[in-house]
């Protein structure tokens, strides 16, 4: 039996959660409890190695210095995976139960499967090299053929090398297209099922082989297929972005091939632009490398004319405003790079009304020092978008505000902020208004009016200016219909009290909200911040909020909810007197004794050493 190395047995649940994440920790714990860890052994130096049964059988190693943890695994994730978590937990349980753990050697075959810089496998085995050198050619052929029959991966590597070595790249292109068809045709992968993550490693290998052979045109044609089929797969896959990362790596090779190809520059430009226009998931980041190339103006001009023809052919009934606007942006970029700046400006103005591209027109005018014209377009754009595109109107207002700030016209800035606040009262618009009114020297007067509105729902009377006698008119003629608020606006009043560190007022408005009986909720987890704000002055009230939140999540009887409850349980454990916490913890254990997954979460609240709980 190996003598216990303290590094692993000193680990806490918090150490594992910080290293692998809560979801992976939970899955790894399940794997260990299901008995999926096989042939656990200790390597020289105390590191761990084991087989773990998942979708396939994976070789996994784990090392720790008692603080940081590192792992390597032959699964698609590779590092910090559920298989590694299961190995750690299996080891700790074995130590606690005094089970023998055999020693592994440096020649353990599992080490050869792990692609890492692990110290034991950082260099080839000299004895193996000597043995292979002594074999005859026929003996080596027999050995390799045997390996190919026993290990599909070895056979696949041999087949790939044979394809790479041939002068004719046609079979390699066909194999690559078949590989893409096979991967993108796989059944949709969801992590809670066991279908496995789509693996593009062989696609990348083959694409790099074609790249090294100078097959740039073939790769760019394959890229069109990959973009179309890969996008369809991404739409159906839920794997936290791993498939996106792999397809992005493939597309990076495509754009490297495109840049190196002998295609005319305008074709390279249009390929990259079309890819970006079709890209919904950020997998064509490499297109920027092509568009940033030093292409002649005349080539940009050809590309611009092609894009302008596409705009003419575009039918509004079958194209969204967003798609048209993206195409306009690309055409403008091409016109600018072609030196046709007047045409670019004309196109933006022509399309602004059609696509809502007012901000682009304003930005160009400001960059050219035409501020008065820019302000005119801001006012025109706000009037056109206030009702149907409030986000565009908001950006235009922000730009007008920055112009007035730069001029030092703080009364007008405060007026614009006040207009935004009374139109859509939020904590953010209140703070922006208060900052601007302070710079304008009317902070107290404006605050009184704003607070009166939040408490009573009564806006300032109509008259000259946003707040008559205090703030001037904004210059914006259009007025959208203000959003009605239920007075008092308790959520905003609570946020103001929290920011100003007034716990009495925090509870005043919180109690008013609870007694109101109106069906509404506190936004942005405001009740969490309420508890934090009053914990020092009124700890019992904070405990009540944290308990209510934790118990509501626990009663949902879902693993995700149990994980979410951990935040509130840790709050309670860190703020409650020790005896009160222990009584509450024991009450939870008794009440939810049948919820095994929740009890696992409860074990992690105090960040206890794993060996004490397992």
- CA dist., res. 446 & res. 433, Å (int): 8
Give the global pTM. 0.62
Residue 501 pLDDT > 60: yes
Give me the helices (H) in 457-577, please. Answer: 490-499, 503-516, 526-534, 539-554, 559-575
**Per residue in 190-206, pLDDT tens?**
443 344 567 888 888 88
- Whether 65 has a pLDDT exceeding 90, the answer reads no
Higher pLDDT among residues 605 and 222, named by residue:
222
Nearest 5°: the CA angle 601, 603, 607 is 105
Q: What is the average pLDDT across 86-110? A: 88
The mean pLDDT of 212-234, rounded to a whole number, is 90
Report the C-alpha gap between 158 and 171 in whole angstroms: 15
In the predicted structure, residue 124 carries a pLDDT above the cut 60: no
What pLDDT does 190 receive?
43
Res. 3 pLDDT band, cuts 50 70 90: very low
What is the per-residue pLDDT for 164?
58
| Domain residue spans of the chain | 6-121, 149-295, 356-405, 408-487, 539-614
Q: Indicate the DSSP class of residue 5.
A: P
Percent of the chain topping pLDDT 90: 48
Mean pLDDT, the chain, integer:
85
User: 192: burial class by Cβ within 10 Å (0-12, 13-18, 19+)?
Assistant: exposed
Question: pLDDT at residue 584 above 90?
Answer: yes
**For the chain, what percent of residues have pLDDT higher than 70?**
87
Give the residue, 3 or 30, on which the prediction is more confident. 30
Residue 331: phi, psi to the nearest 5?
Answer: -65, -40
């Amino acid at each position: 039996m190996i003598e216990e190395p303290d590094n692993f047995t000193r680990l806490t649940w918090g150490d594992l959660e910080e290293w692998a994440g809560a979801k992976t920790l939970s899955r790894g714990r399940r794997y260990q409890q299901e008995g999926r860890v096989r042939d656990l052994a200790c390597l020289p130096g105390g590191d761990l190695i084991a087989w773990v049964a998942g979708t396939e059988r994976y070789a996994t190693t784990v090392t720790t210095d008692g603080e940081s943890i590192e792992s390597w695994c032959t699964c698609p994730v590779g590092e910090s995976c559920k298989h590694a978590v299961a190995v750690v937990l299996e080891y700790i349980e074995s130590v606690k139960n005094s089970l023998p753990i055999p020693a592994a050697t440096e020649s353990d075959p599992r080490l050869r499967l792990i692609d890492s810089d692990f110290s034991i496998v950082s260099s080839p085995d000299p004895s193996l090299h000597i043995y292979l050198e002594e074999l005859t050619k026929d003996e080596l052929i027999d050995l390799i053929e045997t390996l190919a029959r026993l290990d599909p991966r070895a056979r696949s590597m041999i087949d790939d090398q044979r394809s790479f070595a041939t002068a004719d790249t046609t079979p390699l292109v066909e194999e690559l297209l078949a590989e893409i068809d096979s991967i993108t045709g796989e059944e949709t992968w969801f992590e809670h099922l066991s279908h496995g993550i789509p693996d593009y490693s062989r696609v990348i290998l083959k694409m790099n082989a074609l790249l090294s052979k100078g097959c740039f045109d073939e790769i760019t044609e394959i890229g069109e297929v990959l973009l179309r089929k890969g996008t369809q797969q991404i739409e159906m896959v839920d794997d936290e972005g791993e498939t996106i990362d792999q397809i992005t790596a493939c597309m990076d090779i495509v754009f490297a091939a495109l840049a190196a190809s002998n295609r005319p520059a305008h074709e390279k430009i249009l390929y990259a632009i079309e890819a970006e226009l079709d890209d919904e998931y950020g997998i064509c980041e490499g297109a920027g490398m092509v568009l940033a190339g030093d292409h002649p103006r005349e080539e940009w001009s050809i590309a611009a004319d092609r894009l302008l023809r596409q705009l003419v052919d575009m039918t509004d009934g079958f194209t969204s405003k967003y798609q048209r606007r993206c195409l306009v942006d690309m055409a403008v970029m091409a016109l600018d790079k072609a030196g046709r700046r007047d045409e670019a400006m004309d196109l933006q103005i022509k399309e602004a009304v059609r696509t809502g591209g007012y901000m682009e027109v304003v930005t160009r005018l400001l960059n050219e020092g035409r501020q008065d014209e820019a302000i005119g377009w801001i006012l025109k754009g706000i009037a056109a978008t206030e009702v149907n595109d409030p986000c565009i109107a908001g950006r235009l207002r922000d730009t007008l505000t920055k112009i007035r700030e730069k001029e030092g016209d703080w009364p007008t800035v405060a007026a614009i902020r006040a207009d935004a606040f009374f139109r859509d009262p939020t904590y953010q618009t209140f703070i922006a208004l208060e900052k601007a009114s302070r710079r304008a020297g009317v902070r107290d007067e404006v605050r009184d009016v704003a607070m009166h509105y939040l408490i009573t729902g009564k806006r300032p009377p109509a008259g000259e200016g946003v707040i008559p006698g205090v703030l001037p008119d904004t210059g914006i003629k259009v007025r959208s219909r203000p959003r009605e608020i239920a007075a008092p606006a308790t959520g905003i009043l609570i946020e103001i009290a929290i920011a100003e560190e007034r716990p009495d007022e925090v509870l005043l408005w919180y109690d008013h909200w609870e007694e109101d009986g109106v069906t509404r909720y506190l936004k942005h987890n405001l009740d969490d911040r309420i508890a934090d704000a009053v914990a020092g002055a009124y700890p019992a009230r904070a405990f009540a909020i944290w308990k209510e939140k934790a118990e509501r999540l626990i009663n949902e009887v879902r693993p995700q909810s149990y994980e979410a409850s951990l935040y509130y349980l840790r709050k309670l454990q860190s703020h409650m007197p020790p005896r009160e916490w222990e009584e509450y913890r024991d009450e939870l254990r008794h009440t939810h004794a049948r919820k095994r997954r929740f009890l696992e979460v409860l074990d992690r609240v105090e960040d206890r050493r794993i060996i004490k709980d397992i």
